[in-house]
Chains A and B, each alone.
Chain A
Amino acid sequence: MSLLEARGISIAFGGLRALDQVGFAVDRGRVLAIIGPNGAGKTTLFNVVTGLYRAQAGEVRLDGREVTGLPPHALAARGLARTFQNLQIFFRMSALENVMVGRHLKERRRLWAELLGLPSVLRENRESREKARELLVFVGLEARAEEPASALPYGALKRLEIARALACEPSVLMLDEPAAGCNPVETEEIDRLILAIARRGVAVVLVEHDMKLVMRISDRVLVLDQGRVLAEGTPAEVRSDPRVVEAYLGRHGLEAARAA
C-alpha cells in the first residue's frame, strides 16, 4: 500500500467538470510529478487532497487511513504538508518566525502556561527557534533569518515556504509549482532541495511546468488534461507517449517530434 493514495477524485464547479475520476499514489522517498496544460486540474487536485476543496466523489488515504474531506489542519496533524503556487507567506513575521509557525503541531500549546509565560513555554520557544534555524540552513536562508519575510526576494520566499512545510516533519510534502517564476540558478537550487527532501524519506508530490526539472527529479509522472488522467508512468514513458506530446504541442508538434 502506498503512503498517499487518491482514488476516483471528481469535482465540478458549476457545470464544469474540473476533475473526473483522477487518482494517484506515491511512496516514501519518491517524487511524483503532476503535469498538464493550463486548466488541466493540477492545482484543483492539490486542493482536494490537502483539504481546501471537498470532492464530490473519490477518496484520499494517508498511511492506510481514509482522510477524505478532513480540514487542512487535521491533515497536517497526520503528516501532510504543502506549499502554494501563489505564495502564502506570513509577511508581517520574520523568516525565522514563519518557519516557527510550521512547528505549531510539535509544540504543546497549553494556553494557561503560555499566558503565564512559564519556563516550559520559554524552553519550547527556544526549541522551536533552533529547529526553525536548522531548516533555514537546510534551504539556504540562514543569513536572512531575522529579516521580515516581506524583505525577501521571490526565490527565497519559495524556499521559505518549503522550510515552513518541512517544520512539521511531514511524511508527505506537496509542492505546487516550486520553481515557478524562478531563474535557472534558483530552479537548480530547488531541484537539489527536493531530491534532498525525498532522500530523507518524505513522499514528494509536485505540480510543475518546468519540464526539465520534472524529468530530472521525478520517479513517476502523472499527466492530466481537461480534468482526466492522460498518462501515468516513468518520465521516459511519459515523454514518448504520443497522447502527451499531442496535448502539449498539438498535432503539428507531434509530427515535428516524430520527424526529429
Chain B
Amino acid sequence: MSPGTRTKLVVLGALGLALVLVPFLLPSAFHLRVAALVWINATAALGLALLMGLAGQVSLGHAGFFGIGAYATALGPKHLGLDPLLSMLLGVAAAAGLALLVGRPILRLKGHYLAVATLGLGILVHLVLVSEVAITGGPDGVQVPRLVLFGWRVAGPEVWYAITGIVLLLAAWIALNLEDSSTGRALRALHDSEIAASVAGVDVARHKLVVFVIAAVYAATAGGLLALFNRFVTPDVAGFLRSIELVTMVVIGGMGSILGAVVGAALLTVLPQALTLFHDYEHAVLGLLIILFMVFLRQGIVPGLAGLLVRRRPA
C-alpha cells in the first residue's frame, strides 16, 4: 500500500468514526445541531487548508465565497423562484467563477500583498450583501425556504447532522485524493520554491488558480449548507471576522493537515458554546486559549500532537 493510500484510510477512518460516535455520545438535539455546524465549518476550513497548508497561499477574504454560497441559496428561491438546492449549486458555480476571474491577477501577489488583496475581495462581497437592501435584505438578513427533495421535507437535527457529515466526508476524500496526485505534489512544491517548481515544468500560475477555485467551491458549498440548515442568513456569514475565524481554524488545527482543519473547526465552533459559562469573559478565554495553543503546539494541534507521539515512541 502506498503512503498516500495509508494516509487516506487513516484520516477517513478517523472522521467516519467521529461521525458515527458523536450521536451516541451526545444524543440531544442541541448537540447534534452544534455538531452539524462543526461539519459545515470544517468543510469550509478544509478548502482553505488546501490553499494555505498545501499551496502556501493565504486568503483573508474566504468568507466572501462562503457568503456567495449562502446568499445564492437564499435569494434564488426568493427572487427567481428556483429550487433551493439548484440555487445552492448555482451559488457554488458563481463562487468558482468569481475565484477564476479574480484569482489570476490576485495570485500573482505574494505574502502580505496577497493577504490584503483577498481581504479586499471579502470586504467587497460583504459590502454588497449589506448595502443592496432591495435584493439581499441588507443587514437584517433573509429567510431561506425549507429544502424539499422529491417531496421529502428535509428537517430535523438528525437529518442535517447526517447530510453535513456526509458532505464533509466527501470533501475530505476529495482533498486527500488531491494531496496524493500530480497536482497535489506540484502545489506542495510551489509552496517551497516557485522557481524550482516552474523549472520542473509546473505551471505555477495555473496551479495556484486551480487550488484557489477549489477552496472557493468548498467555502461556497459550506455556505449553502449553512443557509439550508439555519433557514436564515445575515451578511455576517461573509464578514471579515468570519474570514479570520476560518483562517484561525486552519492554523490552530495544523496547516498542512486535513484532520487538523476539522479539529480546528470543531474547536472554534464548540468552544464559544462551551465557554458561555464564563459569561462576560468568554471571548477573553477563547483568545487566551488560541494563544496558548499557538505557543505550545506551533505547528497546529494535529501535527503537533502527532510529532509528540513519534518522539515519545522508543526507538
Q: Could you list which residues of chain A lie within 8 angstroms of chain B, going by C-beta atoms?
A: 50, 52, 71-73, 76-77, 81-82, 84, 88-93, 97, 100-105, 107-109, 111, 114-117, 121-122, 124-126, 128-129, 164-165, 167-168
Known: A90-B188, A104-B185, A122-B2. A116 touches B201 (CB 8 A): no
Contact with A along B185-208 (1 / 0, CB 8 A): 110110111011111111110000
> Complex: how many Å from CA A129 to CA B2?
10
- Closest CB of chain B to A147's CB: distance in Å? 13
Cα distance A108–B181 in the bound complex, in angstroms: 10
B183 at the interface (CB under 8 A from A): yes
B145 at the interface (CB under 8 A from A): no
Cβ-defined contact, A76 with B2, below 8 A: no
Given contacts A105-B201, A117-B173, A168-B201, 4 further A-B contacts (CB under 8 A): A73-B204, A84-B195, A92-B192, A129-B2
CB of B61 within 8 A of chain A?
Answer: no
Whether the Cβ atoms of A81 and B185 lie closer than 8 Å is: no
The 8 Å CB contact of A50, one of B174, B199, B210, is B199
Q: Is B256 an interface residue (CB 8 A)?
A: yes
Complex alpha-carbon distance, A77 and B193, angstroms:
19
Measured CB to CB, the closest approach of chain A to B83, in angstroms, equals 25
Q: Complex formed: what's the CA distance from A50 to B201 in Å?
A: 12
Could you count the A-B residue pairs with CB atoms below 8 Å apart for me: how many are there?
Answer: 111
In the complex, 29 of the A-B residue pairs with CB atoms within 8 angstroms, ordered by the A residue number, are A52-B195, A72-B199, A73-B201, A73-B204, A81-B199, A81-B200, A88-B199, A90-B193, A90-B197, A92-B191, A92-B256, A93-B189, A93-B192, A97-B185, A101-B186, A105-B201, A108-B182, A109-B183, A114-B178, A114-B184, A115-B178, A116-B174, A117-B8, A117-B173, A121-B177, A125-B2, A129-B2, A164-B196, A164-B200
Min Cβ gap A109→B in Å is 5
Sorted nearest first, the 5 A-B pairs with minimum C-beta distance are: A117-B177, A88-B196, A114-B181, A76-B201, A105-B201
Q: List residues of chain A with CB within 8 A of the CB of B230.
A: none
Give the distance in Å from the alpha carbon of A167 to the alpha carbon of B185 in the complex: 14
Chain A minimum-CB-distance residue to B173: A117
- Report chain A residues within 8 Å CB of B174: 115-116
The residues of A that contact B199 with a CB separation of less than 8 Å are 50, 72-73, 76, 81-82, 88, 165
Please tell me if the beta carbons of B188 and A104 are within 8 angstroms of each other in the complex: no
Q: Are B182 and A109 in contact (CB under 8 A)?
A: yes
Q: Report whether A93 and B188 are in contact in the complex, using a CB–CB cutoff of 8 Å.
A: yes
Residues of A with C-beta under 8 A to B177: 114-117, 121
Complex alpha-carbon distance, A126 and B184, angstroms: 15
B168 to chain A, nearest CB (A): 16
Question: Does B236 have its Cβ within 8 Å of any Cβ on chain A?
Answer: no
Q: Does B4 contact A (CB under 8 A)?
A: yes
> Once bound together, how far apart are the Cα atoms of A128 and B188, in whole Å?
16
Chain A residues positioned under 8 Å from B5 (CB to CB): 122
Chain B residues with CB under 8 A of A107: 182
Does A71 lie within 8 Å of B198, measured CB to CB? yes
Task: Compute how far the CA of A107 lies from the CA of B185 in the bound complex, rounded to whole angstroms.
Answer: 11
Pick the most buried of A50, A71, A125, A129: most chain B CB atoms within 10 A of its CB.
A125
Of residues 1 to 40 in B, which have CB atoms within 8 Å of A's CB atoms? 2, 4-5, 8
In the assembled complex, which residues on chain A have CB atoms less than 8 Å from the CB atom of B191? 90, 92
Residues of A contacting B196 in the complex (Cβ-Cβ under 8 angstroms):
84, 88-90, 164
Measured CB to CB, the nearest residue on chain B to A82 is B199
**Does B200 contact A104, Cβ atoms closer than 8 Å?**
yes
Q: How far is the CB of B222 from chain A (nearest CB, A)?
A: 17
Across-interface contacts of B181 in A (CB, < 8 A): 114, 117, 121, 125
Contacts of A122 in B (CB 8 A): 2, 5
**Min distance, Cβ B167 to any Cβ of chain A, angstroms:** 15
Return the contact of B182 from the options A71, A77, A114, A126 (Cβ within 8 A).
A114
Chain B residues whose CB sits within 8 angstroms of the CB of A105 once the complex forms: 200-201
Say yes or no: is B180 at the interface (Cβ < 8 Å to chain A): yes
Question: Do A101 and B200 contact each other (CB < 8 Å), given the known contacts A72-B195, A92-B191?
Answer: yes
Least distance between A116 CB and chain B CB atoms (Å): 6
**C-alpha spacing A121/B8, complex, angstroms:** 14
Cβ contacts under 8 Å, B184 to chain A:
114
Bound CA span A116–B4, Å:
14
Instruction: Return the CB mask of B108-120 against A: 1 if under 8 Å, else 0.
Output: 0000000000000
Give, as a whole number of angstroms, the nearest-CB distance from A16 to chain B. Answer: 22
Among residues of B, the one whose C-beta sits closest to the C-beta of A97 is B185
| Docked CA distance A102–B199 (Å) | 9
- Nearest chain B CB to A177 CB, angstrom units: 15
Max count, chain A CB within 10 A of own CB: residue among B2, B177, B196, B198: B196
B192 partner, pick from A84, A89, A111, beta carbons under 8 A: A89
| A84: B residues at CB distance < 8 A | 195-196
- A111 contacts B195, C-beta separation under 8 Å: no
Which residue in chain A gives the minimum CB-CB distance to B193? A88
Closest-by-CB residue of A relative to B56 is A92
Chain B residues positioned under 8 Å from A100 (CB to CB): 185
Collect the chain A residues with CB atoms within 8 Å of residue B173's CB.
117
| CB neighbours of B210 from chain A (8 A) | 111
Neighbouring B residues of A129 by C-beta, 8 Å: 2
Task: Report the Cα distance A93→B197, complex, angstroms.
Answer: 13
Which chain A residue shows the least CB distance to B214? Answer: A115
Smallest CB–CB gap between B197 and chain A, Å? 7
